[in-house]
Structures are given as C-alpha cells and as structure tokens.
C-alpha cells in the first residue's frame, strides 16, 4: 500500500532547509499541498518551495512570535485551505557546558524549540479541533530522552517537546487530532556539519546501523505518521537513529 496524501494541506516549520525541506519534499511527493514556514527571508524560502515544486508555497514566520504564527496560518489557509498536518520542525542549537552556558543561549533554544512548538500548535489545533481531524508531528531528538553533555538547553527543550506531545495527544484525541513526535538521532544536516571529524567518528561507533541518518530517514517517519496508515497511533515518540538508543 503506498502512502497517499492527495489534497491534504501540510505546514512545515523550519522548512527552508535540512530535515524540514526534505519533509516538505516527501509529503508533496505523496500528493500533499505543502507550505514551508521559516524565519529566513521569503525569497530564500520561496527558492526551497520552488525546488520542491508541486505548488509548494513559502511563508515567512518566526515561530517564537505568536502573531507571526497566526499570520502564517492565515496565509496558508487562504492559499491552500485548512491545515490537515502540522510539522513542528524548526529548531536551533547553542551548545556549551552548563557552567559556561549564558542565559541568552538557554532562552534562545527554549524559545525556538519549545515555545515555538507551543505557539504554532495552539493556533493550528483550534481549527483541527473544530474539523475533528488533524495530525501534528513534532520533531524532538534522542537527546531529549538520553541527555547529552554540552546540550543542557537543547536536551531540556526536546524533553519538553516530548512531554508536550503526550499531553496534547491526550487533550486532542477525543477531537480526532493525533499528535506524535519523531526523535532523530545523528542526522547529516547543516546542524551537525559543525561537529569536528573526530566527534563524528566517535558518534558513528555508537550507531549499530553504521551510518549517519539522512533527512529522508526522518521525513519517511513523518510521512507515515501523517498518513491514514497511522490512524491508531497517538502520543508516541518514534526514534529514528539507526539503533543508537534502545
């Protein structure tokens, strides 16, 4: 059975590059009408939307700002129709050991990775509840489960996303809205390119499948959770990490 998202409207935050862009590409490939929302300038997001094709649109929105989220959702709904699938993918890192971590780095990461998920979910959930249907997929991380030295802010934000996912899944289940998280391990994107070669080699040894993940590995899990094949799954965390955490 192939996955068919024909006619479904999908909003992906942080969608101009990396994992978000690949999610947009795969869901559009399954027939969805995709909107990419990002904080970068609209021309850059538009270039990613054009690359995806199939009528994908670009929306500029900083997920830390509730007004941006409302405006972005209105624009998407005017252009494409009511949102069927929200993918909260926007995320940042500001790594450093706890002792040296600044307040600014703590707050920036919590603001984008956790408050951003709250902001966008709150706006989109309202319509989904009225329509008694919808899917929300939040991109967490395995470090939200395991912790990771040097990432107190990031792992706290992703653990928060997991708790948020389970709570909202319980609140919205009776309205037909399913909410899940995907927790990627080590995925080869701009976010992880900054790591020194020695750190990459050490990490590789921890991955039973013997390779880094690609954005497509994460996008496939999102595609499944967005589809009718996942209609009895809510409140779950799907780990996509080549077996690193088990």
Q: Interface residues with ligand NAP (CB under 6 A)?
A: 13-14, 16-20, 38-40, 62-64, 89-92, 112, 116, 139, 141, 184, 186-187, 189-192
Closest by Cα among 158, 120, 125 to 239: 158
For the CB of residue 132, give the shortest distance to ligand NAP in the complex, in Å: 28
CA distance 204 to 172: 38
Least Cα distance to 156 among 167, 143, 174, 168 occurs for 143
Q: Rounded to the nearest whole angstrom, what is the least distance from the CB of residue 140 to ligand NAP in the complex? A: 7
Longest dimension (CA), the chain: 51
List the end-to-end C-alpha distance of the chain, in Å, as a whole number. 29
- The nearest distance, CB 152 to ligand NAP, in angstroms, is 15
Nearer to ligand NAP, 96 or 176 (CB): 96
CB closer to ligand NAP, 94 vs 175: 94
Residue 57 or 139 having the CB closest to ligand NAP = 139
Nearest 5°: phi and psi at 194? -70, -15
Q: CA-CA distance, 209 to 197, in Å (whole number)?
A: 19
Whether 232 is catalytic is: no
Its sign, for the CA torsion 97, 236, 184, 87, is: negative
Q: Which is nearer to ligand NAP, 90 or 178 (CB)?
A: 90
- Nearest to ligand NAP of 141, 153 (CB atom): 141
| 29 neighbors 104 (Cβ within 8 angstroms) | no
Long-range contacts of 201-206 (CB under 8 A, 24+ apart): 206/244
Find residue 237's DSSP bridge partners.
181
According to DSSP, the residues that pair with 37 across neighbouring strands are 13, 59
Residue of 154, 180, 212, 241 marked catalytic: 154
- For residue 142, the minimal CB distance to ligand NAP (Å) is 7
Instruction: Report the nearest approach of ligand NAP to the CB of residue 76 (Å).
Output: 14
Q: Point out the residues that are catalytic.
A: 154
């Amino acid at each position: 059975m192939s996955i068919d998202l024909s006619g479904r409207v999908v909003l992906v935050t942080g969608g101009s590059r990396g994992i978000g862009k690949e999610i947009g590409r795969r869901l559009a490939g399954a027939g969805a009408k995709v909107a990419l929302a990002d904080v970068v300038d609209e021309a850059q997001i538009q270039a990613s939307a054009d690359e995806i094709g199939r009528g994908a649109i670009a929306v500029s929105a900083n997920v830390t700002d509730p007004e941006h989220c409302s405006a972005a959702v209105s624009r998407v709904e005017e252009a494409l129709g009511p949102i069927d699938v929200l993918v909260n993918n926007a995320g940042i890192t500001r790594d450093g050991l706890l002792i040296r971590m600044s307040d600014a780095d703590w707050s920036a990461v919590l603001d984008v990775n956790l408050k951003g998920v709250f902001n966008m979910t709150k706006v989109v959930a309202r319509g989904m509840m009225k329509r008694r249907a919808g899917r929300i997929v939040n991109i967490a991380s395995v470090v939200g489960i395991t912790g990771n030295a040097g990432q107190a802010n990031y792992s706290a934000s992703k653990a928060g996303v997991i708790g948020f996912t389970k709570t909202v899944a319980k609140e919205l289940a009776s309205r037909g809205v399913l909410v899940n998280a995907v927790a990627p391990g080590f995925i080869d994107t701009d976010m992880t390119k900054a790591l020194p070669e020695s750190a990459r080699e050490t990490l590789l040894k921890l991955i039973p499948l013997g390779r880094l993940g690609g954005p497509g590995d994460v996008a496939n899990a999102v595609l499944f959770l967005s589809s009718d094949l996942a209609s009895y799954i809510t409140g779950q965390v799907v780990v996509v990490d080549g077996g690193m955490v088990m």
